Amino acid sequence: MRRAGLLSQLFALLLVAGSMPPMHSQLDNGELAVTCADGTTSRLALRNPTTWWPIEADYQTAIDGFCIPGPYPPRIDLGSGRATLLDLPLDPERDLRSLSVRCLANEVVVGLMSVTRLRP
């Protein structure tokens, strides 16, 4: 999660969980899109493994055989599964109209469990 510089911005924290087959690694599996009243859209790609991890397990670089660029996305243990915490910067000057969740690949399940809109 990006932290530096966001303390003065408006952004949304999103708790997401889902599943995808291993062959979907390094691809956009889904997306979260926020549409503003003026028609502009902010998009957050759910890309495995940089912003999106399956609920069933955490990746282990030595075992899974590929490099994970950057820091791991924050995970929250919810008992039998884990959810990923993502942040999406928003423009404080624009009114929000909608939030959509979309799967972009077959055999992918995306669940949006919560959204929190944070203001400075």
Reduced to 3 states, what is the DSSP secondary structure of residue 50? coil
Specify the residue for token string 């493994």: 49
Give the model confidence (pLDDT) of 36-47 as tens digits: 999 999 899 998
- For the stretch 15-68, pLDDT in tens is 888 888 877 778 899 999 999 999 999 899 998 878 887 777 676 666 665 666
In b/e form, how buried is each residue of 66-87, taking b as 16+ CB within 10 angstroms? eeeeeeebeeeeeeebbbbebb
**Would you say the pTM of this structure is higher than 0.85?**
no
Which is it for the CA torsion 53, 119, 117, 34, positive or negative?
negative
Closest-CA residue to 98 (of 109, 106, 90): 90
